[in-house]
Amino acid sequence: MTLRPVPEQLPADLFGKPSHDRAIKVLDAVASTRMRWTTIVNRKDLTPRADDHRLALVVTERRIEAHDQDVVSLLLQAPDQRELPPWRPGAHLDLELPSGRLRQYSLCGDPADSRTYRVAVRRIPDGGGGSNEVHDELPVGSKLVVRGPRNAFPFAVPGHGSPATRLHFVAGGIGITPILPMVRLAVRLGLDWSMVYTGRSRDTIPFLDEIATFGDRVTVRTDDEHGLPDASALLPGISTDTAVYCCGPVPMITTIADAVREMSGVELHSERFSPPPIVNGRPFEIEFASTGEVVEVPADQSALDAVLAQRPDRPYSCRQGFCRTCKVRVLAGEPEHRETVLTPAEHDAGAMLICVSRCAGGRLVLDL
C-alpha cells in the first residue's frame, strides 16, 4: 500500500493545504468563546454537494471482525488501484448498494493508506435491509459506487484546533469504527490519550485484536462481565483540558453528555448511528396526495416510519436529517422543520425531510 507521510508538526489542514480546514476553523471559534464543551452529533450539517467525489470501487477483501459473525469489514479499492481522495479521522462514505439503497458507514482504516478505504458493518436483522445486503450480497470482486469521503465528526488534534492537552475516547460496539483512525493518529503523534471500549460481550465487539495493540491505554468493559457502565466507568480520571470523543448508542452518549456538563474545561465531541430521539413530539396526520389515504403519526413516531408502514419501498437512508434521501414536497399544511440542511428557499418551495421533521398543525398533505 502507499502511505501518506504524517508530519511531526501538523499543518492547519491535516493533509497539507495552506488554509485551515473548515472543521478546524469551527473548533477555533469554539475555543475563542471559551466554551467548556461542544457536541457534534448525527453527522448533521453535511449535505451532499455537487462536488462530492463519486467513485466506482471494488471489494478486494472481506473479514469477519467479531466472534459472533455479525460484523464484517470491506476493503475497497479503485479497479486500477489508483490513489483515492484523502480523508481525515471521523470521515464516512455513502455506499450506493446494488439494491439502490444509500447507506453511510464510517471509514475505519488508515488515512495514511492512499489506495484503500475500509468500512465495517454490523448486521441488523430487523433493520432497513442495508446491513443484510452488505453481509450477504457484496462478496470479493463486487463493484459499487461510493460518495465522499465526507466528515461531520472532525478530529481536532490538541494544539491544532483544540485547546485540550489530552484525549479520551469512548466507543460502544460498532461505534469503534470512527474512533479507530483517531486513536491511530494519536499514537503516531505521541499524544496523551486513553480509551474505554464497551459492548454486550467480547464476542460482539469488533477489532479486539487491533485494540490489543494499543496496550493498557485501552480499557475494555463488557456488560456481561461488568454490568452497564455509568459515567464514572466511561470517563475515568477525566480532568480539565481533556477532549472526549465518543461514538455509540444513544444512552451511552447521553450518560457522557450529562456528566461532561458538570466538568470544567472538558470538551465533548460525539456521533451516534441511530435516529435522534423525538423531543416534544405531537401527533398529526399525513395525507397521500396521490390516493387521499390518511395515516396517523403518533407523538413518539417519525413521519418516515408512518409513511414506510404504507409505502415500504419509499427511499430513505440516514434517518437523522442530513442525507436528503427522504425529501418530499409538502402540498398543504405547515411543516415543523427539525433539520439543518435544507435552505430557506427549499423550505419555501415545500421541501421537507420526513425522517426528523414533523407537522406544526394537524395534517400535512405530501406529494406521495
The yes-or-no verdict on residue 24 having pLDDT over 50 is no
Tens of pLDDT along 262-292? 888 898 888 766 666 788 889 999 999 999 9
Tens of pLDDT along 307-349? 988 887 787 767 777 667 789 999 999 999 988 778 888 899 9
Tens of pLDDT along 157-215? 887 767 789 999 999 999 999 999 999 999 999 999 999 999 999 999 999 999 999 99
Q: What proportion of the chain, given as a percentage, has pLDDT over 90?
A: 55
CA angle, 293 as apex, 289 and 298 as ends, to 5°? Answer: 105
Amino acid letter, residue 106: S
What pLDDT is recorded for position 15?
Answer: 34
Q: What proportion of the chain, given as a percentage, has pLDDT over 70?
A: 83
Distances (CA, A) of 105 to 119, 175, 222, 298, 314: 6, 10, 24, 30, 21
Reported as a pLDDT band with limits 50, 70 and 90, residue 94 is: confident
What pLDDT is recorded for position 273?
Answer: 62
Task: Of 7-21, 95-109, 196-210, give the lowest mean pLDDT range.
Answer: 7-21
Do the Cβ atoms of 269 and 243 come closer than 8 Å? yes
Q: Which is higher by pLDDT, 214 or 254?
A: 214
Name residues whose C-beta falls within 8 Å of residue 37's C-beta, 6 or more positions apart in sequence: 260, 261, 263, 266, 267, 268
